[in-house]
């Protein structure tokens, strides 16, 4: 508990911003669909870090934790749908390069 009090809100926000920037770089620079999906997950986790950090500095309320739980559920559903699409594309074209994929028709 004392370590948590020694770390301020600014440090959590810096970590969240760094995670978000790393995810954004991964989304914008990668051509592999799985790497783009990992970048999106990093950005969602950065939002969760910020939500829980803000919630910690508002004692007696749990809205930040509930929003973080909601984001985790949405991220799991998004990952399941995206991986199903990626597997479908790989099954039909034997590649998952997003620049070469223009349609989902076989």
Per-residue CA distances from 30 to 8, 43, 55, 85 (Å): 34, 15, 33, 17
pLDDT tens string for the chain (106 positions)? 555 557 788 898 999 999 999 999 999 998 888 888 899 999 999 988 888 888 877 777 778 788 888 888 888 888 888 888 888 877 777 777 777 776 655 5
Structure tokens at 70: 């909601």
Angle value at C-alpha 15, between 80 and 41, nearest 5 degrees? 10
Total-model pTM:
0.76
């Amino acid at each position: 508990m004392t370590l948590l009090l020694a770390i301020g809100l600014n440090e959590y926000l810096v970590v969240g911003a760094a995670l978000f920037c790393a995810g954004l770089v991964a989304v914008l620079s990668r051509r592999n669909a799985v790497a783009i999906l990992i970048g999106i997950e990093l950005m969602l986790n950065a939002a969760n870090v910020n939500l829980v950090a803000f919630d910690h500095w508002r004692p007696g309320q749990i809205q930040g934790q509930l929003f973080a739980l909601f984001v985790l559920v949405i991220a799991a559903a998004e990952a399941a749908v995206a991986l199903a699409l990626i597997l479908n594309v790989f099954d039909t074209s034997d590649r998952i390069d997003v620049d070469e994929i223009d349609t989902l028709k076989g």
